[in-house]
């Protein structure tokens, strides 16, 4: 029986604060949290962490934070911000983590919607945003900050440093220790434990209310599934507002009692990863993609001998690596030998460079991952798996069991989760990890959860013959072209995005005679490619419009078309015409969500002239667009964009 | 084949000692941009002083430390008396100054200790190691092995000293940018003093080892000249370069000595005696190398702004 | 703003400096008060860098005197000025290119370390402990300047903007009381300039460091400095608050290139 299981069978380990106190009791000296600060990894044990949380909770209580109050938490992954979650929960309040790189105006909405009175923020940058929106958020009365730098001269009475608050809390706790114990005892598993705002691919963000019960259930089932225990450790570097981070770095860590590690800064993640060598890892496909791109760029610059070796052994890995990892039979002795050699010469060093030498389980989720990308990691011996879930389902609907990995499925339903497919292909989910409600939106809640208790995920998919769920696309995005062929834009885009040269793709085809696409090239990969060919360029816009680059991208698209042609259902989705956009799609211009998903509708509207040109058969089109620079100023970018045709392959009949 | 390895190993072992001499040059060149022509004379001076003191009846344990003190004093004095007044002069001026210094030191040594050849007995016999002969059947000199060990230990110690300590960091800083080093309060003269003292110390070790091997005589200064091809190979500013360069020169000159004559004789079909290749081969090698890679194996490519 | 600008700590009278026939500085006189940000501006070749070089003793003026912390002297000396708390950056970055960012900033601690050179080599234990203590201070500087991700990178490989930041770091590691910055923002993009401004203001504000700054970006100079001295062809043509200087006719002429 796993540790997580044993733990939950003890009475009343059914809220996060009680779990925390439990760990402080049974493994008080084991590391709970690490953070790299001033170049050195600092460690807090579970008992120290419990003390810190107590101080923070009592300090908050002194300031008037009460049961049912919402606590905004904004910043990079910092120990104290994680502790703030536990502190709010200990008092019966609800933590509301926000995306830290959102601009003030975006934060204002959530702060108003969640009626935030208390906010705990990381530093001056976030404090400035809070002060900026204070006028719009009259309820906001306490802004507590972790890092005091630059805040010495701020005189606003709402401001206070966490140090002060915790000092206050420590005194309070010393004088009345029974207060906090009482508050923790009053907590119920059915209480709301966290409110996570969905990033809102469409419409405004909605606050998803999850209970202690649902998140603990989801975390527990995941920990059992992969045998996670106190000996494991994870690098916590994804936004705290994302359900994935909440599940892995908070819920699972608190359930299983493993160690979380906070990186020094966003720029040092790779180094920190290498230093910590976590056993458990979680990243959206984008991160895996970027890592691979970096590796590929480095290999292109490497000496011919190195590159030759890399290519040879990667071919070996492609042939048999994934099978060896799954322990499947049927791999020849020679391949096993070669793979062993490759492991010493290439895969091992590569895993080390990626900081993944000690990984036991790695997950990806949040978007579909390119099959080739996925295969790459598995073939070099990293147990990367997919999971499927959403904010509303605690990110825990389907998981790929060890040894049953399919590159194009998201696995089997997690223990205790029921999944069925609706008539229109939509995936429906029922289970204990479902959200209680959308905050203050009963109509939306009723729409999302039907009378039988099934949550409508909005994704289209189907079960294959082995009971694995395959997701094709967002249900509402899946459409038909004019000729009635199935059109799954995300599926096509993901296929294109796997090419290291293509950073972003947007496919169009709904109700149209054919499929066309916008492309964003990957500045790093294409720039490097161009430099090696002595193609000079002055920036993204210039590089994007080079005829050589168009040819390069056309090659990629035709490869994707050839693959699409192999599948009878999807062969109608081949890309006929494409153009390379003159600017990179950017969350600051509202073209992508904060989690970097394309806002298809918005993009289609903004670039309507380009779509018209794609379908009118023109060879080029002029466009001028306003952009926001990183310093907040805005300016215009304009260009005459080339439009190019790609080769279409005849649909192949699949031998059944 | 076995004979080949015997020659190769003997070559590598003497190469380590070349490295040691080359290191003396590199240290000073790196820190102050001076090519110290007098390094060879310092080796000679050190060996002669140690032997001279020993011959006066002092034990080795006493004469070596005394010599060390003398070498450090000599190094510091050189920096103070010769180089400091010449600061900011052209490189060639400084070079000429070190040539003058060479004659001065050589003269001084001989004036004090006389010009006769003296033997130096360190108590390590120059005989093949018995057990190696038994086990692998190769004749490797015990003296060479120990001398190489001492040289390697010194090189390693210096490498640590320069990479880990404050002085080492300061030295690298000075080597990189004088002006900037001054502005952070690194006293240039101290650093130069330290470097000269260290170079003196290195010269002492080299002098003892070479002196014990070939006898302490004026010819020691020529051994120091062997460091030139080493430097050309390794680059004037690179410590690893001095080490690798020394090994290459040591190994190749020994191999050349053994194999080249018979090769040439067969090639030109003569019975001419082609001895003494050891003497000139390293210079030819360096010359060839100079044509291919003038900055040396590890040296920085120098781009002169005009 | 509760910045308490203090007494004059550094002043110059009649400083003249020439290189052969070129008169780089002619009878310059001005002063620097404790805790202030003092800018030196002027067209190219006006003598700004020369003035900075006089302050930390790289150049020795032929005439004039310098009063530093109440002591009058003919000229400064590089080593002594570093020792008495003056740190600087250079117009053309003068970092130790082959060394890592960390080592570069560590050299800034040089004067704070025990002075006995040879003991350092022999006393391994204490020297190591001292090294660790200084390393901690250096880590604070790294954290302050947000350059953790390049800690181990050789400086020569960094882009220009980051090199400037590292150079500032090396100066800060010395915990100077006076910081001389020669065009700290030259060649930077807008965002890098903003960061650099923030660092300069934070240093001045949080550590109370007096700053003498040469900068060509007028917007920045007028924004952050307390007083400005304007040089043109080696002569002082104005001295005062940013507003006063902005209104000064000679300054306007100098910048618009009116013939002399
Ligand atoms: N070491 C030197 N040798 C000879 N002339 C010099 C030296 N240093 C400066 N000068 C001369 O002194 C004058 C002032 O130079 P300085 O570098 O101080 O100007 P600056 O105001 O800093 O200009 P910039 O804005 O270009 O940096 C120039 O005419 C310059 O050529
Ligand atoms: Mg200048």
- State whether C107 and B184 contact (CB < 8 Å): yes
- Do both C171 and C196 map to the same domain? no
A183's CB contacts (< 8 A; 6+ apart) are A57, A61, A67, A90, A91, A92
Q: Measure the CA–CA gap between A177 and C258, rounded to whole angstroms.
A: 77
Tokens 């996570």, located at residue: A196
Give chain C's domain count: 2
- State whether A152 and C205 contact (CB < 8 Å): yes
Show the CA angle centred on residue C232, arms to residues C229 and C235, nearest 5°: 75
Instruction: Specify the residue with its C-alpha closest to ligand 1, atom 25.
Output: C44
SS3 A355: coil
Q: Which domains does chain A have, with CATH numbers?
A: 4-201+237-254 (3.40.50.12780), 479-645 (3.30.300.30)
- In terms of Cα–Cα distance, which of A548, A593, A656, A574 is closest to A204? A593
User: Taking a C-beta distance cutoff of 8 angstroms, is the pair B109, B95 a contact?
Assistant: no
Contact map slice: A 114-173 vs C, CB within 8 A: 149-150, 152-153
- Do both C154 and C186 map to the same domain? no
- By CA distance, what is C191's nearest residue in A? A631
Residues with CB under 5 A from ligand 2 (ion): C 49, 91
pLDDT higher for A467 or B128? A467
pLDDT at A630: 65
- By CA distance, what is B171's nearest residue in C? C107
- Do both C158 and C219 map to the same domain? no
- Do both C13 and C39 map to the same domain? yes
Listing DSSP states for C72-128 in one string gives EES---HHHHHHTTEEE--SS----TTSBHHHHHHHTTGGGS-S-HHHHHH-HHHHH
C205 touches chain A (CB under 8 A): yes
Instruction: Specify the residue with its C-alpha closest to ligand 1, atom 30.
Output: C45
| H/E element, B206 | helix B188-214
Q: Measure the CA–CA gap between B217 and B110, rounded to whole angstroms.
A: 10
Q: Which residues of B touch C (CB under 8 A)?
A: 161, 165-167, 169-170, 172-173, 176-177, 179-187, 190, 194
Contact map slice: C 122-161 vs A, CB within 8 A: 135-136, 139-140, 142-144, 146, 148-149, 151
pLDDT at A83: 97
Indicate whether residue C124 lines ligand 1 (CB < 6 A): no
Which tokens sit at A443? Answer: 């109509």
Classify residue C120: in a domain, yes or no.
yes
- Do both C99 and C76 map to the same domain? no
What count of residues does chain C have? 260
C164's CB contacts (< 8 A; 6+ apart) are C89, C93, C184, C185, C186, C187, C188, C192, C196
User: Taking a C-beta distance cutoff of 8 angstroms, is the pair B217, B117 a contact?
Assistant: yes
Q: How confident is the model at residue B304 (pLDDT cuts 50, 70, 90)?
A: very low
pLDDT tens per residue across span B235-288: 877 778 888 888 888 888 888 888 877 777 777 776 666 667 777 888 888 888
Q: Measure the CA–CA gap between B94 and B91, rounded to whole angstroms.
A: 5
Q: Which residue, C175, C207, C238, sits at the end of a domain?
A: C175
pLDDT higher for B61 or A45? A45
Residue C244 Cα, ligand 1 centroid: separation in angstroms? 26
- Residues spanned by the domain of C154: 95-175
Write out chain C residues lying below 8 Å of B190, CB-based.
Answer: 117
Q: How confident is the model at residue B8 (pLDDT cuts 50, 70, 90)?
A: confident
| H/E element, A342 | helix A333-342
Indicate whether residue C66 lines ligand 1 (CB < 6 A): no
- State whether B177 and C106 contact (CB < 8 Å): no
Nearest listed ligand to the Cα of residue C47: 1
- Do both C222 and C202 map to the same domain? yes
pLDDT tens per residue across span B58-103: 888 888 889 989 988 888 888 888 888 877 677 788 888 888 999 9
Q: Which domains does chain B have, with CATH numbers?
A: 2-292 (1.10.3470)
- Do both C253 and C147 map to the same domain? no
- Do both C104 and C164 map to the same domain? yes
| Residue A322 backbone phi and psi in degrees, to 5 | -65, -40
Q: Which residue, C120, C146, C175, sits at the end of a domain?
A: C175
- Do both C159 and C183 map to the same domain? no
The CATH number covering residue C214 comes to 3.40.50.300
Q: How confident is the model at residue A631 (pLDDT cuts 50, 70, 90)?
A: low
Q: Tell me the pTM.
A: 0.74
- In terms of Cα–Cα distance, which of A391, A371, A368 is closest to A379? A371
Residue C120 Cα, ligand 2 centroid: separation in angstroms? 38
3-state secondary structure A467-531: CCEEEEEECCCCEECCCCCEECHHHHHHHHHCCCCEEEEEEECCCCCCEEEEEEECHHHHHHHHH
- Do both C167 and C195 map to the same domain? no
Q: How distant is the alpha carbon of residue A538 from its chain centre?
A: 33
- State whether B186 and C107 contact (CB < 8 Å): yes
Q: Measure the CA–CA gap between A54 and A34, rounded to whole angstroms.
A: 18
Residue C43 Cα, ligand 2 centroid: separation in angstroms? 9
pLDDT higher for A446 or A423? A446
Classify residue C40: in a domain, yes or no.
yes
pLDDT tens per residue across span A504-516: 999 999 889 999 9
Nearest listed ligand to the Cα of residue C43: 1
Query: Is there contact between A and C if contact means ≥3 C-beta pairs under 8 Å?
Result: yes
- Do both C166 and C182 map to the same domain? no
pLDDT tens per residue across span A385-415: 999 999 999 988 999 998 888 877 889 999 8
- Do both C78 and C182 map to the same domain? yes
Q: Measure the CA–CA gap between B60 and B63, rounded to whole angstroms.
A: 5
Burial class from Cβ neighbours inside 10 Å (0-12, 13-18, 19+) for residue A113 reads: buried
pLDDT higher for C38 or A490? C38
3-state helix, strand, coil in chain B (%, to 5): 75, 0, 25
Q: Which residue, C123, C156, C175, sits at the end of a domain?
A: C175
Classify residue C2: in a domain, yes or no.
yes
Classify residue C90: in a domain, yes or no.
no
SS3 B271: coil
- By CA distance, what is A37's nearest residue in C? C143
- In terms of Cα–Cα distance, which of B221, B243, B237, B232 is closest to B285? B232
């Amino acid at each position: 029986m796993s540790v997580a299981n044993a733990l939950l069978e003890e009475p009343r380990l059914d809220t996060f604060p009680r779990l925390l106190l439990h760990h402080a009791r049974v493994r008080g000296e084991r590391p709970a949290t690490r953070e790299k600060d001033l170049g050195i990894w600092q460690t807090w044990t579970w008992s120290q962490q419990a003390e810190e949380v107590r101080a923070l909770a009592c300090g908050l209580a002194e300031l008037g934070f009460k049961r049912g109050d919402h606590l905004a938490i904004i910043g990079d992954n910092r120990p104290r911000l994680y502790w703030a979650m536990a502190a709010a929960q200990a008092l019966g309040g609800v933590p509301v983590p926000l995306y830290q790189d959102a601009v003030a105006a975006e934060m204002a909405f959530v702060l108003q919607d969640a009626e935030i009175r208390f906010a705990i923020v990381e530093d001056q940058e976030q404090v400035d945003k809070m002060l900026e929106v204070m006028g719009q958020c009259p309820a906001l009365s306490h802004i507590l900050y972790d890092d005091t730098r630059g805040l010495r001269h701020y005189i606003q009475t709402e401001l206070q440093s966490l140090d002060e608050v915790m000092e206050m809390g420590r005194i309070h706790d010393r004088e009345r220790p029974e207060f906090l114990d009482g508050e923790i005892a009053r907590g119920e598993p059915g209480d709301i434990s966290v409110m996570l705002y969905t990033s809102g691919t469409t419409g405004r963000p909605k606050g998803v209310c999850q209970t202690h019960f649902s998140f603990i259930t989801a975390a527990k089932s995941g920990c059992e599934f992969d045998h996670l225990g106190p000996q494991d450790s994870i690098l916590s570097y994804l936004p705290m507002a994302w359900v994935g981070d909440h599940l892995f770095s908070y819920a699972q860590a608190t359930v299983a009692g493993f160690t979380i590690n906070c990186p020094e800064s966003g720029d040092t993640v790779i180094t920190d990863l290498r230093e910590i060598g976590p056993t458990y890892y979680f990243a959206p496909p984008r991160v895996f993609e970027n890592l691979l791109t970096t590796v590929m760029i480095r290999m292109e610059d490497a000496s011919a001998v190195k590159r030759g070796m890399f290519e040879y052994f990667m071919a070996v890995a492609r042939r048999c690596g994934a099978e060896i990892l799954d322990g499947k039979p049927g791999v020849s002795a020679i391949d096993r030998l070669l793979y062993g050699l490759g492991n010493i010469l290439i895969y091992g060093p590569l895993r080390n460079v990626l900081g993944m030498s000690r990984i036991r389980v790695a997950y990806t989720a949040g978007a579909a991952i390119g099959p080739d990308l996925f295969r790459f990691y598995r073939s070099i011996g990293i147990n990367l798996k997919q999971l499927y879930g959403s904010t509303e389902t605690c990110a825990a609907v389907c998981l790929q069991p060890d040894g049953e990995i399919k590159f194009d499925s998201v696995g089997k339903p997690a223990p205790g989760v029921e999944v069925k497919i609706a008539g229109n292909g939509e995936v429906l989910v029922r289970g204990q990890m479902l959200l209680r409600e959308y905050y203050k939106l009963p109509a939306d809640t009723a729409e999302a959860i039907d009378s039988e208790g099934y949550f409508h995920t909005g994704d289209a998919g189907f079960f294959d013959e082995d009971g694995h769920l395959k997701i094709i696309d967002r249900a509402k995005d899946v459409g038909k072209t004019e000729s009635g062929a199935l059109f799954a834009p995300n599926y096509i885009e993901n296929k294109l995005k796997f090419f290291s040269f293509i950073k972003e793709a947007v496919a169009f085809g709904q109700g149209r005679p054919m499929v066309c696409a916008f492309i964003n090239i990957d500045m790093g990969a294409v720039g490097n490619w161009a430099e090696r060919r002595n193609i000079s360029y002055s920036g993204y816009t210039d590089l994007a419009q080079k005829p050589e680059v168009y040819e390069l991208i056309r090659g990629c698209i035709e490869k994707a078309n050839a693959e699409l042609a192999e599948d009878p259902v999807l062969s109608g989705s081949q890309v006929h015409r494409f153009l390379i956009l003159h600017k990179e799609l950017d969350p600051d211009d509202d073209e992508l969500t904060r989690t970097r998903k394309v806002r298809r509708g918005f993009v289609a509207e903004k670039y309507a002239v380009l779509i018209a040109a794609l379908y009118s058969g023109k060879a080029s089109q002029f466009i001028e667009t306003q952009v926001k620079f990183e310093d907040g100023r805005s300016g215009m970018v304009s260009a005459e964009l080339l439009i190019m045709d790609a080769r279409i392959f005849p649909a192949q009949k699949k031998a059944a | 084949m076995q004979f080949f390895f015997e020659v190769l190993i003997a070559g590598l072992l003497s190469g380590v000692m070349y490295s040691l001499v080359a290191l003396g040059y590199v240290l000073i060149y790196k820190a102050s941009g001076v090519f110290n022509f007098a390094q060879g004379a310092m080796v000679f001076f050190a060996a002669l002083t140690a032997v001279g003191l020993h011959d006066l009846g002092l034990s080795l344990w006493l004469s070596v430390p005394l010599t060390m003190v003398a070498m450090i004093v000599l190094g510091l004095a050189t920096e103070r008396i010769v180089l400091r007044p010449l600061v900011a002069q052209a490189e060639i001026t400084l070079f000429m100054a070190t040539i003058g210094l060479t004659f001065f030191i050589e003269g001084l040594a001989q004036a004090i200790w006389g010009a006769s050849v003296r033997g130096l007995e360190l108590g390590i016999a120059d005989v093949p190691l018995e057990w190696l002969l038994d086990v692998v059947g190769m004749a490797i000199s015990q003296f060479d092995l120990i001398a190489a060990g001492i040289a390697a230990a010194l090189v390693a110690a210096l490498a640590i000293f320069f990479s880990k300590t404050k002085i080492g960091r300061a030295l690298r800083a000075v080597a990189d940018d004088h002006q900037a080093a001054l502005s952070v309060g690194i006293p240039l003269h101290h650093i130069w003093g330290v470097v000269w003292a260290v170079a003196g110390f290195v010269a002492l070790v080299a002098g003892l080892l070479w002196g014990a091997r070939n006898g302490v005589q004026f010819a020691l200064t020529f051994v120091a000249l062997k460091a030139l091809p080493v430097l050309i190979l390794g680059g004037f500013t690179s410590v690893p370069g001095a080490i690798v360069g020394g090994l290459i020169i040591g190994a190749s000159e020994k191999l050349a000595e053994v194999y080249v004559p018979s090769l040439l004789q067969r090639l030109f079909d003569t019975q001419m005696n082609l001895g003494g290749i050891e003497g000139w081969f390293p210079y030819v090698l360096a010359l060839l190398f100079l044509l291919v890679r003038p900055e040396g194996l590890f040296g920085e490519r120098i781009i002169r702004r005009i | 703003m509760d910045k308490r600008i203090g007494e004059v700590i550094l002043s110059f009278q009649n400083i003249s400096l020439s290189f052969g026939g070129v008169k780089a500085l002619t009878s310059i006189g001005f002063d620097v008060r404790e805790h202030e940000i003092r800018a030196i501006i002027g067209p190219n070749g006006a003598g700004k860098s020369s003035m900075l070089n006089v302050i930390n003793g790289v150049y020795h003026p032929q005439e004039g005197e310098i009063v530093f912390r109440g002591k009058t002297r003919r000229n400064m000396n590089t080593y002594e000025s570093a020792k008495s708390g003056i740190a600087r950056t250079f117009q053309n970055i003068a970092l130790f290119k082959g060394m890592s960012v960390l080592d570069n900033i560590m050299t800034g601690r040089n004067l704070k370390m025990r002075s006995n050179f040879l003991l350092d080599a022999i006393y391994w234990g204490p020297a190591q402990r001292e090294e660790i203590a200084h390393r901690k201070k250096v880590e604070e500087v790294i954290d302050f300047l947000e350059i953790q991700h390049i800690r181990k990178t050789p400086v020569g490989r960094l882009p220009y903007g980051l090199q400037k930041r590292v150079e500032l770091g090396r100066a800060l590691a010395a915990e100077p009381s006076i910081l001389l910055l020669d065009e700290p923002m030259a060649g930077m993009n807008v965002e890098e300039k903003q960061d650099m401004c923030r660092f300069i203001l934070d240093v001045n504000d949080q550590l109370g460091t007096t700053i003498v700054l040469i900068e060509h970006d007028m917007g920045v100079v007028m924004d952050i400095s307390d007083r400005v001295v304007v040089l043109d062809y080696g002569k002082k043509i104005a001295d005062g608050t940013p507003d006063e200087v902005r209104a000064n006719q000679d300054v306007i002429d100098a910048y618009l290139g009116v013939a002399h």
